[in-house]
């Protein structure tokens, strides 16, 4: 029997046809403003089965306001619709998503409200769809932030800050043919993430940073964001990126981060501190090559004969789980093909760095985060894990109690490294126990030669803290990030005066 033969061109055409049939949408998921809807107005929980509910941005609830800003495969915002078609798909009002965020921030501050702004950039295999699992996670994060605001501000003169979330959407999921087909999009989606990072998302980040700094600098008694944020500052901002979304975020702001850490050593004794990008940037299980991270690592090293003189909250925290199969094994496998023409490299470190992520290169790890025994944090007795999706009043009471316990634990740790009223100066190999069950250890013998007070951290976790690539909202990891974020206000930059340098612990 004669065997039928297919030419490579025919096979390629068939595969291309299948891919086209299974392509995920390339138009925005959020193309309607609330004023353009009817069935969704005034509802706390919207029904995604109603098309206009699933297409709305922002989602407004009593707890938070969630905005979506979406970018296409070239990193562009949606084009403006034709006149008279503003409320029609596929683009609707999506071209004005950045303007809508800025308008919401201005409206809140004009009304005398403070703002707790949380920005999240999703990763591979996700998008801005109403029921995307990352959207669901981000809603839970914002609910938790609001509960913390209510708990920490109760009984104080200042009103709780308004919680505004910004979900940065891009086409992280490009096919709808199942998980196996999704895995084949690794190279294409990684390249897309870089194009997104080089596009209009930079405008978004720049405008958010400019808004925070300009507003906080105008506030009486508020330390401007470049030097660290005090309690009086009414606009706070946390930026989070996950997977390829961490690549989008890091690539877009890495130049600013390098400028920030060089400033840390640019003045006598580093008294000005590192310029902060927002209040803190957190990259969770980032999926980009370590060779992109090494220049920042190098800039964060103290010059010869110098050292970071005192602790301040890190401006960038990279967290990677050893149990993250995607970045530990799949990422290097994918990079084997795409780096063939980049070899030979100039050194063994460079050869490894182009194929591995920062969290899976031993020489770059600065801290180890592990699940700890309850006895390791005796000052945290009485601390309870809150669940913001149950009884709100009960959870606020738990968070309020937790905060007192966390603050006591925090003061006890820093007291060991303070001399009089000066800010703490940590020593190599320090260990810190966080309420909720984690222990952070500075790796004094790290190949990165990590300075114990450096403002850039590359943290490795065990599987109990993060069980895999998508486990980024578990209780151990979440409580660690929350308490570390408090250091931004608790440990303020050293102030230079004739009487010396000092700092005081402030409440959130």
What's the pLDDT at 336? Answer: 80
Domain ranges (residues) in the chain: 30-490
What's the pLDDT at 16? Answer: 54
| Distance from the first to the final alpha carbon of the chain | 79
Q: What is the pTM of this model?
A: 0.88
* Cβ-contact 150, 198 below 8 angstroms: no
Kindly list the strands in the beta sheet with 431-434, ordered across the sheet, starting from the edge strand earlier in the chain.
59-60, 65-70, 162-169, 115-121, 235-242, 280-284, 316-321, 456-461, 367-371, 438-442, 431-434
Give the CA distances from residue 505 to residues 231, 312, 455, 456, in Å, rounded to whole numbers and listed in that order.
10, 12, 19, 22
What's the pLDDT at 263? Answer: 74
Going by C-beta distance under 8 Å and a sequence separation of 6 or more, which residues neighbour residue 311? 414, 417, 423, 424, 425, 426, 453, 491
What's the pLDDT at 20? Answer: 54
Contacts of the segment 423-429: beta carbons below 8 A, 24+ positions apart:
423/310, 423/311, 423/312, 423/491, 423/492, 423/493, 423/494, 423/501, 423/502, 423/503, 424/310, 424/311, 424/491, 425/309, 425/310, 425/311, 425/453, 426/311, 426/452, 426/453, 427/452, 428/452
Cis peptide before 206 (omega within 30 of 0): no
* Cβ-contact 244, 328 below 8 angstroms: no
Q: How far is CA 427 from the centre of its chain?
A: 27
* Cβ-contact 227, 263 below 8 angstroms: no
Full pLDDT tens readout for the chain, 508 residues: 555 554 555 544 544 554 555 788 889 999 988 877 766 655 455 566 666 788 889 998 889 999 999 999 999 999 986 666 655 667 888 999 999 999 999 999 999 889 999 999 999 999 999 999 999 999 999 999 999 888 887 656 568 899 999 999 999 998 877 777 777 888 889 999 999 999 999 999 999 999 998 888 766 545 543 434 445 678 999 999 999 999 999 999 999 999 888 876 655 444 455 678 899 999 999 999 999 999 999 888 877 666 666 888 899 999 999 999 999 988 888 888 777 677 777 787 888 889 899 999 999 999 999 998 877 778 899 999 887 666 678 888 899 999 999 999 999 999 999 876 667 889 999 999 999 999 999 998 766 567 888 889 999 999 999 999 999 999 999 999 999 998 887 765 433 322 333 333 334 4
| Alpha helices, DSSP H, located in 154-293 | 179-183, 186-197, 201-218, 244-264
Identify the CA nearest to 72 among candidates 28, 137, 20, 11: 28
Pair of tokens at residue 328: 């530990």
317 bridge partner residues: 282, 457
Going by C-beta distance under 8 Å and a sequence separation of 6 or more, which residues neighbour residue 150? 160, 396, 399
């Amino acid at each position: 029997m004669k065997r039928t033969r297919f030419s490579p061109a025919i096979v390629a055409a068939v595969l291309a046809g299948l891919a086209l049939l299974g392509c995920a949408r390339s138009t925005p998921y959020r193309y309607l403003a609330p004023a353009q809807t009817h069935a969704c107005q005034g509802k706390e929980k919207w029904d995604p089965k109603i098309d206009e509910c699933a297409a709305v941005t922002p989602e407004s609830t009593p707890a938070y306001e969630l905005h979506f800003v979406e970018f296409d495969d070239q990193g562009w915002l949606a084009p403006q619709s034709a006149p008279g078609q503003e409320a029609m798909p596929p683009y609707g009002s999506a071209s004005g998503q950045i303007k809508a965020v800025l308008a919401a921030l201005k409206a809140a501050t004009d009304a005398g409200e403070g703002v707790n702004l949380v920005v999240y950039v999703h990763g591979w295999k996700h998008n801005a769809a109403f029921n995307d699992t990352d959207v669901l996670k981000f809603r839970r994060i914002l609910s938790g932030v609001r509960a913390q605001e209510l708990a920490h501000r109760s009984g104080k003169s200042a009103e709780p800050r308004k919680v505004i979330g910004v979900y940065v959407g891009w086409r992280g999921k490009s096919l709808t043919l199942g998980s196996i087909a999704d895995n084949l999009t690794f190279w294409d989606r990684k390249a897309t993430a870089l194009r997104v990072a080089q596009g209009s998302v930079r405008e978004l980040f720049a405008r958010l940073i400019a808004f925070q700094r300009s507003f906080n600098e105008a506030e009486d008694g508020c330390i401007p964001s470049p030097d660290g944020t005090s309690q009086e500052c009414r606009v706070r901002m946390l930026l989070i990126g996950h997977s390829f979304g961490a690549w989008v975020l890091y690539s877009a702001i890495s130049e600013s981060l390098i400028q920030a850490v060089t400033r840390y050593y640019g003045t006598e004794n580093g008294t000005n501190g590192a310029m902060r990008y927002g209040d803190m940037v957190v990259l969770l299980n980032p999926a980009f090559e370590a060779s992109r991270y090494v220049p920042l690592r190098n800039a964060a090293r103290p010059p010869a004969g110098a050292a970071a003189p005192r602790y301040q909250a890190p401006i960038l925290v990279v967290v990677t789980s050893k149990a993250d199969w995607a970045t530990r094994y799949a990422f290097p496998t994918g990079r084997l093909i795409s780096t063939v023409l980049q070899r030979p490299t100039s050194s063994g470190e460079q050869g490894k760095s182009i194929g591995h992520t920062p969290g899976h290169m031993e020489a770059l790890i600065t801290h180890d985060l592990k699940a700890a025994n309850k006895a390791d944090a005796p000052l945290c007795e009485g601390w309870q894990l809150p669940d913001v999706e149950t009884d709100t009043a009960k959870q606020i009471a738990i968070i309020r109690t937790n905060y007192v316990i966390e603050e006591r634990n925090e003061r006890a740790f820093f007291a060991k490294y303070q001399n009089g009223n000066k800010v703490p100066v940590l020593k190599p190999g320090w260990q810190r126990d966080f309420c909720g069950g984690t222990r952070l250890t500075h790796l004094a013998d790290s190949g990165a030669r990590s300075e114990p007070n450096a403002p850039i951290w590359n943290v490795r976790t065990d599987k109990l803290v993060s069980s895999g690539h998508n486990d980024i909202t578990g209780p151990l990891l979440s409580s660690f990030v929350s308490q570390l974020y408090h250091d931004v206000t608790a440990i303020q930059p050293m102030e230079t005066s004739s009487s010396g340098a000092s700092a005081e612990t402030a409440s959130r």
